[in-house]
Structure 1
Amino acid sequence: MRNKSKIAVLALSVLVLVALSTAAVAKTNPDLELTADELLIDDSNAEVIAIGNVEFSRGNIKLKADKLTAQQELQMIEAEGNVVVNQLGRTLTAQHLQLNSQTEIGILTGSPQYKTEEMLIQGEKFRFDLQTGKLTVNDQVYLENKKEAITAEAEHLSYDRAKEEAILTGNVVAHKGERRMTAEKMTIDLETNKIKAEGRTTLIVPNANQKQGDQNAD
């Protein structure tokens, strides 16, 4: 009887472990869902094409576009036309997207933008990682922190969401209020709003006396 009891307990323990493992896998690998006005499924080429009002979701990632082409069980995704990616209050927009839905690493082109309630980032090409919250932007970079009235332009930007830090390089021009700063490299702490400039740096502050004189003249 004791042996039977031990076997029963062991079997129950195994079932519990399997259930927990299954739940953990389901949590880390949420279901993929794709809806559209028209779907074309090509099993021979392992390809799915969605057209019109496309909506794709996986976990906390929501994607909308005019057209989506996916391969390898919806892992490799290419979307085009009014692309919008939402994740926990953060929004990425562009005209073209390439995304690995498993690693959550992708590329955005076609007037890409990154938006939050307080921040805007623009550029020619985005490389992003939705898991780590890291973003790199090349060419015609523009950053705006609306809360602190900070704007900056540069050739390249690296943004780290976890650190709340943006590093701009290449002909950096930044404005904070009425002050203007130029440098080859600039690090902006978006939490404390501290700015560190490196390389040949210039800071321009409007003449307070001249400004006061202009006000008196009015």
Structure 2
Amino acid sequence: MGDQRKEAFDKARSLSEAEKADEALEAIAEYTNVEAPEYTVDEMQTLNICITEKVTSAGFDDKKDACNQCIELLDGVKMMKDSLFLELYCESMYEVFSKMSRAVRDEEREQVWNKCKELFYELMLAAKKVWRDKNMPGGLTIYLNFAKLCKSYLDVADEDSFKMCESMAQEAKFLGKGQLEDEDWKDANKMIETIKKAIADARHDKELIDDSS
């Protein structure tokens, strides 16, 4: 079974890199279409490649369906206590929900946003066990991507989500450089400022929408 599984994921990666997203996902369907799927880091990397190809290659008329298919693949995945695994999962999430924001109908946006929040909250809980200090770039990346999605979905995004991102940025800033290397702190500080700006912009634009309605 182990060899068959590895062969399936290797095949999926090759197919995806050949821009055959549907065939790639079909190759691993036996392992992805299960409740609470578990993946190794290598498998998550392959799934990330497949998902990126799927949502990127889909035409406008097919974009929403492609994103929904990928959301189903990400929903319920068992979080592995591994930094690279969580980074790959986060990358997949951002790729899917950012593409979905431009394809979904207005009346569906709140439902999509609620699913986005649900999955990101699970990711954030897992991240706390991997990046214990709030100034670590890996953990901040998750909040940065969520903050950017807050801006993409600002018409339906909620104040609690805004505050959660702001709070993380403030706590990371307060913690300062700590034990980080100079380059890591430089990256972290840049992410902190980007998170703050994304939320400030989202809140401002949301207020303009509310005032005009």
TM-score (norm 1): 0.30
Please state which structure has a larger fraction of its residues in helix: 2
Q: Greater CA radius of gyration, 1 or 2?
A: 1
TM-score (norm 2): 0.31
Q: Comparing both chains, which one has the higher relative contact order based on Cα–Cα distances under 8 Å and sequence gaps of 6 or more? A: 2
Please state which structure has a larger fraction of its residues in strand: 1
